[in-house]
Amino acid sequence: MKRGDSALVKAVFHQTAVLQSVATSKTGEIKVHTMPAQDFITAVGKPHTDVWDERIEFGQVLVDGPMASVWTPYKFYLGEKFSHCGVNSFQLYKSADGWKILYLVDTRRKENCP
What integer is the mean pLDDT of 106-111? Answer: 92
Q: Where are the alpha helices (DSSP H) in the chain?
A: 6-10, 37-45
Per-residue pLDDT tens over the stretch 4-47: 888 999 999 999 999 999 999 889 999 999 999 999 999 999 98
Per-residue pLDDT tens over the stretch 49-74: 899 999 999 889 999 999 999 999 99
Phi, psi of 39 (to 5 degrees): -65, -40
Report d(CA 13, CA 58) in Å as an integer. Answer: 18
State pTM to two decimals. 0.87
pLDDT at res. 79 = 93
33 near 84, Cβ under 8 Å? no
